[in-house]
Structure 1
Amino acid sequence: MTAGCSGETPPPAQPATVTVTTPPKLSTDPDAKTVAWLDGMCGAIFGYVKASNEHASKQGSGVEVTRPWLSEDLGVRADLAGKVVDELNALPASPIPGGDNARKSLVDSYTAARDAAAEGKRKLDASKSQAALDAGLKALDAAQKPLTETTDPFASVKMDTPEMLSAMAAAKKCVPAS
């Protein structure tokens, strides 16, 4: 006989025991060392771009290239690139895999720009020949190379993890000012 047909009351339903396990919480708080390192990298790069653009805007368009103008411009460009090199070299070891390689690549690029500008200025100031003026113009092109290169400074760094996306979002200097 079944309980439904006998008129007996069925036993009370037992509540099901459900064990809920929550997955470990992934940290959405960015790592402070990573944020600081990214801010240092971005601050150096964007600081250079901003300072270089400000310098160029003060000159206006249609500037006549003279020896004094070129000498001054090369000096400014050498100083700007040198500042980036100093700032990048002052950063601690990268907490991000591939970060030190990215920094080294930038240091190499800005060092070459700094050295080209400084050497071009030195040669220009030491000689009054047309060859020195031509060399100064070539040095100016080399000094501006970091501005014209379209390389991603973080190309060698895996930036698509939740941790890195969170760190990039928190790194205020990695958002260029509009």
Structure 2
Amino acid sequence: MTDQQPEGPGPQQPPDADEILDADEILDVVDENDQVVGQAPRGEVYARRLRHRCTFILVRDAQDRIFVHRRTARKLVFPSHYDMFVGGVVGAGESYDDAALREAEEELGVRGLPRPVPLFTFLYGTPEHSWWSAVYEVRCTLPVDPQPEEVAWHAFLTEEELTARLPEWEWVPDGLEAFRRLRDWEAAGRPAAG
């Protein structure tokens, strides 16, 4: 299936009830040292560019291919962009590790996934966004059934196939940054967990 072209992003859709509820989810607001300094609804966190926490999980299958997907048009951040990670925001009072497992199972549509292995963290920031990012890796040998509310298209790609598509597809910028840092981390002699 990796040689098939994904469908186009399609028309932009108005927010639905799930997206409105997502905007009301309470997140921890953190400082430059990743210490909690308050809490706010996700919609306010995004609107006011409040620093919060996110997880990025690189998912490999039994053949060592990487799960790649296109986000749905209804996503609050980077709609219809491609991503080589699953993941998302860390809820108020939730640990990075718990959020990584929850997000991976939700987005992949699986239960019983091994606990993702933490690799490193970094602070991501642009004029529009700021979040602490925890990067993980997990091997998924279960059949995936991604959430249609989150994932518009998906495939497992080899690293070479993924690399070839980097200049061709519109990628989430934070995912690109996390992927660049992951490659640097691996090149420094610290191979990603398998």
What is the TM-score when the length of structure 2 is the normalising length? 0.23
Larger relative helix fraction = 1
Q: Quick check: which one's strand share is greater?
A: 2
Structure number, greater radius of gyration: 1
